[in-house]
Amino acid sequence: MENIRTRKVEKMVKEKEAKAYELRLYVAGKTAKSILALTNLKKYCEEHLKGQYRIEVIDLLVQPQLAEGDQIFAIPTLVRKVPEPIRKIIGDLSNEEKVLVGLNIRPA
């Protein structure tokens, strides 16, 4: 159930090109933390960045070679690729305030 929904979102996201916010969420399998992080992220994005964002979910169990490139060591990690500079937020993103500050959506 959850799986289907995630894919739907990804599909939806991919259709829109060149967004102001390009976000990447690194996970390792569908763990509770990963799912929580993704749900949280989608919620915040819908609330604050509607239409301006794209989320890419990378499962490191499937593509472990990608971990090195973005310097991932913690799971889950959210990487803001665009706009620069790159920002990273680790954890299940349960603190909305911190995520928004971290993504520079809201000034600190």
Partner 1 sequence: MSTTAEKHTSQLHYPSLPKTPTGITGLDEITDGGLPKGRPTLICGEAGCGKTLMSLEFLIRGAMEFDEPGVFMAFEEKASELSMNVASLGFDLDKLQEQKKIKLDYVHIDRSEIEETGEYNLEGLFIRLDHAINTVKAKRVVLDTLENLFSGLSNQAILRAELRRLFQWLKEKGVTAIITGEKGEGPALTRQGLEEYVSDCVILLDHRVINQISTRRLRVIKYRGSVHGTNEYPFLIDEEGIAVLPITSLRLEKEVSSERISSGIPSMDAMLGGHGFFKGSSILVSGTAGTGKTSIAAYFANSACNRGDKCIYFAFEESPKQIIRNMHSINVDLQKHINKGILQFHASRPTLHGLEMHLVAMYKLIKKFKPQVVVLDPITNLVTVGSVSEVKAMLIRLIDFLQDEQITVMFTALTLNNVITEQTDEGVSSLVDAWLTVRDIEFNGERNRGMYIMKSRGMKHSNQVREFIITDKGLDLVEVYLGPEGVLTGSAREAQKLQEQTGELLRDFAVSSKDRELMRRRKVLEAKISNLQMEFESAEEELNKMHQQEDLIKQVSNKTREEITNRRRGEHSDEKGGKNG
> Under the criterion CB under 8 A, does residue 35 sit at the interface with partner 1?
no
Asked if 102 touches partner 1 (CB under 8 A), the answer is yes
102-105 long-range contacts (CB < 8 A, ≥24 apart) are 102/78, 103/21, 103/23, 103/78, 104/80, 105/44, 105/48, 105/49
User: Comparing C-alpha atoms, which of 45, 24, 56 is closest to residue 105?
Assistant: 45
| Site for partner 1 contains 107 (CB under 8 A) | no
Taking CB under 8 A as the criterion, the residue among 9, 10, 19, 33 binding partner 1 is 33
Using CB under 8 A, list all residues that contact partner 1: 26, 28, 33, 36-37, 60-61, 64-65, 67-68, 71-77, 85-95, 98-99, 101-102
